[in-house]
Amino acid sequence: MGMMRQYELVDRVRSYNPNTDEDLLNRAYVYAMRAHGTQKRASGDPFFAHPLEVAAILTDLKLDDATIVAAVLHDTVEDTAATLEEIESFFGAEIRRLVDGLTKIKKLDLVSKKAAQGENFRKLLLAIVDDIRVLLVKLADRLHNMRTLHFVLPEKRLRIAEETLEIYAPLAGRMGMQELREELEELAFRHIKPEAHETVTKRLEEVTEREGKVIGAIELDLREKLAASGIAADVSGRRKRPYSIWKKMERKSVSFEQLSDIFGFRVIVEEPQDCYRVLGIVHMTWPMVPGRYKDYISTPKQNDYRSIHTTVVGPGHSRVELQIRTDAMDRIAEFGIAAHAHYKDGRPGEPIQLADESRAYQWLRRTVDLLAEGDSPEEFLEHTKLELFHDQVFCFTPKGRLIALPRGATPIDFAYAVHTDVGNSAVGAKINGRIAPLLTELQNGDEVEITRAEGQAPPAAWEALVVTGKARAAIRRATRTAVRRQYAGLGRQILERAFSRVERVFSDDKLKAALKRLARNTVDDVLAAVGRGEMYSGDVLRAVYPDLEPEKRTPAESRPNGAAPGKGWFELGKGDNLKFKLPGEPGTDAIPIRGLGRDLPVRFSPDGGAVPGDRIVGIMSPGEGVTIYPIQSPALAAFDNEPDRWLDVRWDLDDKAPQRFPARIALKSLNEPGSLAQVTTTIAEHDGNIDSVHMHRPNPDFTDVTIDLSVWDLKHLSAIISELREKRQISRVDRVLG
């Protein structure tokens, strides 16, 4: 395509502004062409083609002569011998001011991500607010650069695309310029995530091919319905842009198939009240999707956007999103603030009067008033609460490094954005110097300091609480590693004890030699498998010492269930000769068990738990690690014939950090008012934590109540039970053992 000619530019402006100053436009064209001379762009086109394309984009927004001329001249001062004085003498003060604003912005490298970024925003906004038309030229300039981005060096390409997505697209959106915003996002998306862009585009085309007919049918149907009710309306269907679809897939983490509204319809009517009539007809024709109706006519968005949105289930069960608005609303929806930037009464020569009703402009003014007060760039960011980036927050490290995060991000996201290691070892945060929970939602301008502890692993629960993909992936990785480490640790303890029972010493080297026989790649793999219960200690023993005599097993029946311990030991009559140490007894080789630590591969019997003071036994379950049961638990009978699964375990309590343990009690209470309250109050007064209560009423007189609670130890549990037995309303109380 050749370069735009002088007369073409004039024709474009004249088409919407018959009073245009043709002489001014012609002079600007010639001046810029001479100034740029033989300069070339990266694409090999004459440089002068660029300002002309920018001017052409602005004629689509129907802007005034001064803006068009500023666009034609916007690169001259920066890139040629032209001076502002010269421009003023040829084109007047107003155009000089616009070009000056543009030159200033050009000097800002908005990409620098340091505290200087605050300074850059300030300059950008100050330049814009002086005259909003500066922003319009800047956005058009950026759009043309993005359209020709493939000519730029690859390493610069990504930077420019990211800056477009972070700064210019939201700015266009903030100013209500939807079309422009969408095209900027689209072009940036194509460069930042080419694979995603291609996939989404391809899927969109498939759907369009499949459902294209439905669109035509709905359009026709809508037109006929509205015409029958005497409403003059222009109906047009369109499919959503790949970027907005991809963003929705990311935001709601849904697949393409689950997306409901790939097609949207716009219904343009003459009067605001017609919008509501259309809405009525639409809702009476097709079922609406609840929760998707929004009325931005009665409450416009901050950038003046007005429209009614609703989603209905159209023919063929396809969900269809509708936007209903008047022609005037549509103009503002497309051009945003540019829709206000027209001549007053179409008289040339008068500076633009921005219509008072432009809330977008008021927003900009307010932001800039705050700029004047803020002293430092950081303060500026904090002051304005950078409303501009309603979907982003900008925070700082104590050294002033700027970290951009999505809205809703927490200090955990921040920590991972700084570095994976910082995230993995994060244990606390200070926000603006004050200690704050790690789940606080960060605000713009917050300074975040992360407290770290080495050897920490992030709790698995964090994964569901963070909003950045980076944090999520890192937490998942770290949790996997930590859990595996714990399983391997447990496996090592199990093997050391199994080996010492047959009077052999366990070592990694011996295990290494047997890896082939065990069909595992590393010592760690074996340890984790034993810890998870996927491989039994006996098999490892036999792999390391193939000629070892098999252990003699005594019949399972001889297990003295609940028999009195001799000399402090409780013999289990198992072939493995498992011993259970009584609490508080010195020296034993049983595996020490603590409470339910972080992601520990040890859990307590789901039906009744176990508490310190109980004699306990561990049962290995493949893939789940060890489950701890009290020795008198009836559930143990199920494992009688699987001696390999029994482990000797003992309590290992930390006096410095006491922990509660799970237990279950069952009671029968009289059906009279307040009896349940009596029970719960008694437990609470005795410092028991109730985890859940289940009630069943077998007859009108009694209620059976099962309570899961957590207590410090057996003594604590017994005290609670005996206290409950004292109560008149309670006929019996027993501990339940699963």
Give catalytic residue positions.
78-79
**Contact status, residue 618 vs residue 628, Cβ threshold 8 Å:** yes
| Chain position carrying tokens 């960011």 | 381
How many Å apart are CA 700 and CA 697, to the nearest integer? 7
DSSP E strands: which ranges in 7-106? none
**Contact status, residue 36 vs residue 80, Cβ threshold 8 Å:** yes
* Residue 23 amino acid letter: D
Max CA distance (Å), the chain:
113
* Residue 426 amino acid letter: A
Helix axes 116-130, 132-147, angle to 10 degrees: 120
Cα 446 to chain centroid distance, Å, stands at 19
Backbone angles phi, psi at 230, to 5 degrees: 75, 30
Reading the block at residue 419, the tokens are 């570095």
Q: Which of 486, 478, 466 is nearest to 596 (CA)?
A: 486
- Half-sphere exposure (Cβ direction) of 653: Cα atoms closer than 13 Å: 15
| Chain position carrying tokens 């143990």 | 636
Close Cβ partners of 612 (under 8 Å, ≥ 6 residues apart): 583, 651, 653, 661, 712, 713, 714
Reading the block at residue 634, the tokens are 């009836």
At CB < 8 A and 24+ separation, what contacts does 49-52 make? 49/3, 49/4, 50/75, 50/144, 50/145, 50/148, 51/75, 52/3, 52/4, 52/9
| Chain position carrying tokens 């792999």 | 543
Q: Which of 290, 278, 200 is nearest to 239 (CA)?
A: 200
**Contact status, residue 57 vs residue 140, Cβ threshold 8 Å:** yes
